[in-house]
Structure 1
């Protein structure tokens, strides 16, 4: 049983927080609200959360290296370069870079993250009728190289979700939520090519309810996985493929969405959650659904801040 301490650091109008990314040089956290169509910036030193409204479901955000106040974001089926000062309610600039899946117009991007070499990886998902209920095998996982070349790495995906890489870049960890597994690939870091996909951890075989959603990795190469509709964060040993421990949020928020290490020493775990499409009964029972959480005393540290896109 975890001895971690869970606290709410922000809770206001978030429908479905996602994609937390710790910006180490600024000591703040950026994340998105997908159905709320917004980008958020949380500043721990002041407790303030700034928001800018977007036009469309906004699904991931990563900074662009050496370009202050510039990010890559996913909106619906497109990737944009986005400029924002992190304070204003106004978008400074928004330039479309790529659009995918014209043949699946109801699809959208979901999770996205940069690998240790600075390439963007972002996946799509099929049309979702209810939380976790999608058109199967309609999504894809894409890689955007430094030369802005977009390539498809994995296909026949239901809900493309968590991504993480080992500290030596030899392994790539990946989640398609509707498979109820966390998978691992061998990873060619030079070419940016995953291969030899295998199941690392099977939720159903381990008797765990919910869907694996976003994830992050620590300095011991163990992963931390948010459970959507499960109300827990799983700490998984990537060598043994076994569960180390769980952090239980079930009385506070069942729909956890993603995790990211942050803080001065990268030993604080930020967790996003949702209150989107909850039943009235769930809303009455879950006191903190939709909140941004900070978990301390987790006994682990993250691998640097979030990786930026390198042009």
Structure 2
């Protein structure tokens, strides 16, 4: 598919309380990477080695790749919540499929953007939350060592209601063997009783981990111990109520200045928050009601990629939010991100 021609010039807005610290992004440009409309776009991952953007459409059970302005996808048979390339395993990805952690091998010899590519090999490695069959995986990230952290959420009904405390944040510990039974035993719960486990980010020096459980409407901060690959000392870092932010926090990424960028689900914007002080630096408006996640990418990691939803947006609301469901590229921000990390784990083949 050809690069979508429509662009929008945006102006960052700040509250009066934060205007003195506001970063000026006048002239930032937002473009849709394709005219394809996602039902539930999520999980953008920029592959810096190959200049490829990966993301998923949870509701349509698809893993997408966008390369050289062309869009391609592989069709799966249930909700797919995240996709992360596996280091030293060409064409291999860690994916969250329903409640299952799986390995996907995806070969794309003919990328023409219109024909679904058949799954070459899908291996289901482990199932979590066995006592909660309505749960599913949600967001996931690889930590500074490449270990996979992934969280679940409770069943979401047609009205968008999600039970509280039914999810868990897990970590997949690495092992010396690639025997699958051992892999399943190494998916360990880290934080139980979360509701919608969501965005994660690590500071540049790896000493801090930012974490989102969406219904709390706040970003929490942990100390991260690189020797034990563990988190501790949880405390609130930024709360949406501080600046009267609507909606909830969703996916998150971090830039080279250790500032975090937060997808504001239900708020039609991306928030930019100081990773040191927890102060709001600015609000980047997005013409999509439900902004789900963000990541930095591009050749110089100076573009922000944003996933959004069309689900739940009425025809009348589309007039106000015409980019709902689009995957967006924001250029001209004047800031660079940190590279996304690949999963380093022998479980994935």
TM-score exceeds 0.5: yes
Change (3 A) 1:25 1:93: same
Residue 11 of structure 1 contacts residue 290 of structure 1 at CA under 8 Å; is this kept in 2? no
**How far has the Cα of 1:286 moved from its partner?**
1.8
Q: Secondary structure at the match of 1:253?
A: coil
**How far has the Cα of 1:300 moved from its partner?**
1.3
Residue 131 of structure 1 contacts residue 277 of structure 1 at CA under 8 Å; is this kept in 2? no
Structure with the higher fraction of residues in strand conformation? 1
| Alignment map for 1:119-138 (pairs within 5 Å) | 119-130=147-158, 133-138=161-166
**How far has the Cα of 1:132 moved from its partner?**
5.2
Alignment: residue pair count? 306
Scaled by the length of structure 2, what TM-score is found?
0.85
1:167-224 superposed Cα distances (whole Å, 9 cap, x missing partner):
1110000000000001100011221111111111000122000110001001111100
Scaled by the length of structure 1, what TM-score is found?
0.96
Using the alignment, how far apart are the partners of 2:235 and 2:251 within structure 1?
A: 18
Using the alignment, how far apart are the partners of 2:314 and 2:258 within structure 1?
A: 37
Using the alignment, how far apart are the partners of 2:238 and 2:303 within structure 1?
A: 24
Using the alignment, how far apart are the partners of 2:288 and 2:253 within structure 1?
A: 19
Change (3 A) 1:123 1:74: same
Residue 289 of structure 2 contacts residue 313 of structure 2 at CA under 8 Å; is this kept in 1? no
- Give the match for residue 35 of structure 1: 59
Bigger radius of gyration among the two: 2
1:133-185 superposed Cα distances (whole Å, 9 cap, x missing partner):
31000000000122231111111111111010011110000000000001100
- Give the match for residue 170 of structure 1: 207
Calculate the aligned-residue CA RMSD, in Å.
1.2
| Alignment map for 1:257-272 (pairs within 5 Å) | 257-272=292-307
Residue 163 of structure 2 contacts residue 195 of structure 2 at CA under 8 Å; is this kept in 1? yes
- Give the match for residue 308 of structure 1: 342
- Give the match for residue 285 of structure 1: 320
Residue 100 of structure 2 contacts residue 125 of structure 2 at CA under 8 Å; is this kept in 1? yes
**How far has the Cα of 1:11 moved from its partner?**
2.9
Using the alignment, how far apart are the partners of 2:293 and 2:136 within structure 1?
A: 18
**How far has the Cα of 1:283 moved from its partner?**
2.8
- Give the match for residue 238 of structure 1: 275
- Give the match for residue 138 of structure 2: 110
Q: Secondary structure at the match of 2:317?
A: helix
| Alignment map for 1:77-116 (pairs within 5 Å) | 77-86=99-108, 87=111, 89-116=117-144
Stretches of structure 1 lacking an aligned partner (at least 5 in a row)? none
**How far has the Cα of 1:102 moved from its partner?**
1.0
| Alignment map for 1:218-233 (pairs within 5 Å) | 218-233=255-270
1:112-136 superposed Cα distances (whole Å, 9 cap, x missing partner):
1101100001000011125653100
Stretches of structure 2 lacking an aligned partner (at least 5 in a row)? 1-11, 13-24, 176-182
Using the alignment, how far apart are the partners of 2:60 and 2:125 within structure 1?
A: 22
1:223-282 superposed Cα distances (whole Å, 9 cap, x missing partner):
000011100000100111100111101xx2110000010001000000000001223322
Residue 33 of structure 1 contacts residue 58 of structure 1 at CA under 8 Å; is this kept in 2? yes
Using the alignment, how far apart are the partners of 1:259 and 1:132 within structure 2?
A: 22
Residue 132 of structure 1 contacts residue 178 of structure 1 at CA under 8 Å; is this kept in 2? no
Using the alignment, how far apart are the partners of 1:215 and 1:268 within structure 2?
A: 15
Using the alignment, how far apart are the partners of 1:23 and 1:244 within structure 2?
A: 27
Using the alignment, how far apart are the partners of 2:250 and 2:295 within structure 1?
A: 12
Q: Secondary structure at the match of 1:282?
A: helix
* The one of 185, 189, 193 aligned to 2:222: 185
Greater CA drift, 110-119 or 280-289? 280-289
